[in-house]
A and B are shown apart, each in its own frame.
Chain A
Amino acid sequence: MQTHHEKELAELKDKLLTMASHAETAVTRAVEAVVNRDEKLAVQVRADDNILDRFEVTVDEMSVALLAKAPLASDLRFVLMVMKISQNLERVGDEANKIAKRARDLAGEPPLKANIDIPKMAQIALGMLKSSLDAFVRRDAATARALIPRDKEVNALNKQFQKELMELMTRDPANIRRCMWLTVVTKSLERIADHAKNVAEDVVYLCEANDIRHAAGK
């Protein structure tokens, strides 16, 4: 039977997962808005940003109330990691917001001929976010560890796209505005992958009580 304490932890988890699905939706729709040059959708994504903000506040309140009850060991790590993950999700929402803003701007300009595969990059970043949250739900440290290196793929893609956009800008100053906006979009996707990586690291800590952040530098 589930104890009251377990019930409260489960409620917190459910809240966080609902928040995560909102974050994913925001990113998906923002990218859609860029790709389909859908201004209306972009405006909608920006309007929905406060949903995530409210979720973050609620998750924090629930976590603080739980922490006052002095959970220990994995329960303690769980609440702490939920707080960190919710913060990352809120940032993901911010990035989606930025993408949507640029999508709106881009929609007002003629399309730019560029060899930039935004959907692919978005797919990787979102995939990372999804699997990191899956790993969180299943408390699966192996999955979490496995997806950390994929951040490098996204970084590489970002670098490649930045170079591409730089070239387009030098070729024709008329491209500069749109290229700058696209730079922001790829940068944001890269940041979303970063947040997914943070979540994965938090999941590893949650499962193993082992802090693997910044380990590469050592």
Chain B
Amino acid sequence: MKHRFQSQGFNFGSAFFTGLTGLATALILVFLVIILGNIFLNGWEGLSWRFVSTIPKKDFFEPGSAAVLPMIVGTTIRVFVMTLFVIPVGVITAIYLTEYASTTSLYTRIIRAAVNNLAGVPSIVFGLFGLGFFINFIGKNLDQMMNASGPHFGQPAVLWASLTLAVMTLPVVIVATEESLKAIAPGLREASLALGATKLQTIWKIVLPNALPGIMTGAILAISRAAGEVAPIMFTGAAYYMADLPKSPTDQFMDLGYHIYVLSTQSPDIEKTRPILYATVLVLLLLTFALNAVAIVVRSRMRKAMRAGH
């Protein structure tokens, strides 16, 4: 009797492909370890309580007087303000696209194409857009309307930088929200409607609460993307130096990413500045992780609450 299930011997193709994919994955890990390791090892020494808790003097290239408190505050504020704008706009857009718009209409297809293309625009272009649209158009017009003596809105500010970042990260939030809305079982919507709920009631009470973790994922992605961006804020709000923390939305602000750029390009003595640079990069990394961590904790709380059924 023949043993039909006997192996035909070693399968080279399969083994080769397994090896190839494993290798590619390992390569990513190697790069990550090199980059993070390099930053941690070199940045660790420059880190101190004084470094993260004082406002530096004008000469922040000197290891003795360098500090990053205003940059931490600035970056955190602009990320939060951005989140405040991008989440509602992104979520409402996604709701329109998934719940209301006809999937086949030309209008919807144009919106979708616009969202996709927005995601592909280089960040420096957003920076210039922010300068042109928010500062020179909206800001200056606001000034004119209010008959301000000097430029008040029509100048770089944390508000305009945050809005520019919000426009940039809009596609991320829209796509993530759309995905989470689509992932909700259609049965839930039907069940709600069959009980006599209106569409709005169904979206507000059933669809949105269930989409929250997905929306938070969008927020996390947007925050990660925005926290380290420099180009969009260069012309719209980031300052080379400020003696004080920003006090109002129309103030300029110092930013970690921009400061790294300044440190690495403007330093009179790059060798002396290098430890500060490493420490600043490390602070930016940690801040980004921290902002993400907050969002992730919030998301997992939401998931747990949902599973518990409240």
* In the complex, A touching B (Cβ < 8 A): no
* B residues adjacent to A (C-beta < 8 A): none
* A residues adjacent to B (C-beta < 8 A): none
